[in-house]
Amino acid sequence: MMQVMAKPDLHRVPRHPHAWAVVLVLSQLAVAALWWRLGWPVGLPAMLATHAVFLWGVLVPDSGLFSPVLKRLPTSEPVVWLTIDDGPSEQTPAVLDLLDAHGAKATFFVVGERAQARPELLREIARRGHGIGNHSHSHPQAWFWALGPAAMRRQVADAQAAITAITGTAPHWFRAVVGMANPFVSAPLRTHGLARVAWSARGFDAVAADPDAVVTRIERGLSPGAIVLLHEGARHGRNLEVLALLLRRLDALGYRTVLPEAGAEADQWLEKTREAEMETARFPGPPP
């Protein structure tokens, strides 16, 4: 029998964006005390261990050490959340047409500067009923994880302002560049009411040029509620082939796409999902 899920909070904005600093100070005071009392053979490994924890929190994309992060949708229904990063790009119109052809919806995590360069594409994404998220303003791929507080604040705020000015609606969701979020991302997320989104299924389509291999990797992570990471505009130019193949596989496997949103819309989505699960539990179909 299918389990009915409890109602969770999908849209989790950081509540205590500076808590990490308190933890850091306390941990280093503890390290200093150990070093003072027991010497470097204990103090040095303790210092390295505490630093390793903070580094892990930055480098692991779905780490919630510095801020809450949504990794998958809480449902046992055969649904997935398609997320498409790095646009808008020259491929965006074709991406939209592919999604329309399969009756699929996606959230586009867009770059502020690219949205300003192609505002008509951003408006078209919204017009066709897709979601739009914040993916930084200039996409500093090599050093986003190492940005200081002022630079991080600008990356989030400038993208938020650009997207809002073009579409008239402020995004609810944020995805860190390359998924890596350092401690300084929490404060601007709280300021702008943004919640971090990671993923649970990816195929490395931003770098891998073989659509079959990419979709095979994505399929390994597919399950009810999976958040699928895709990209547009990659240098290899085969993102459209990846999307087309993935949409065919999702159709064949019986998966539908959903757009979970914030606030009341999230409540409505969760309520509909619970109702569907209750119906399935009461009237299960024939065994496969």
How far apart (Å, rounded) are the C-alpha atoms in residues 163 and 135? 10
117 vs 120: CA distance, rounded Å: 9
Q: CB of 194 within 8 A of CB of 156? A: yes
Active site includes 100?
A: no
Mapped onto helix, strand or coil, the DSSP state of residue 198 is coil
**The residue type at 245:** L
Q: Among 275, 259, 273, which Cα is nearest to 11's?
A: 259
Query: Residues 11, 85, 86, 192: which is the catalytic one?
Result: 85
* Dist. CA 233–CA 93, nearest whole Å: 12
| 85 assigned to active site | yes
Q: Considering 135, 205, 231, 267, which one is annotated as catalytic? A: 231
> CB-based contacts of 60: which residues, under 8 Å, 6+ apart?
none
Using alpha carbons, list the distances in angstroms from residue 55 to 30, 58, 181: 18, 5, 10
Q: Which tokens is 76 given?
A: 């046992």
**CA pair distance 111, 207, nearest whole angstrom:** 18
Within the chain, where are the H helices?
19-38, 40-59, 92-101, 112-117, 119-127, 149-167, 186-191, 211-220, 239-253, 263-282
Q: Coil, strand, or helix at residue 202?
A: strand
CA dist., res. 47 & res. 95, Å (int): 48
Instruction: Tell me the CA distances in angstroms from 182 to 114, 116, 154, 284, one per residue in order.
Output: 23, 26, 14, 45
Catalytic residues: 85, 231
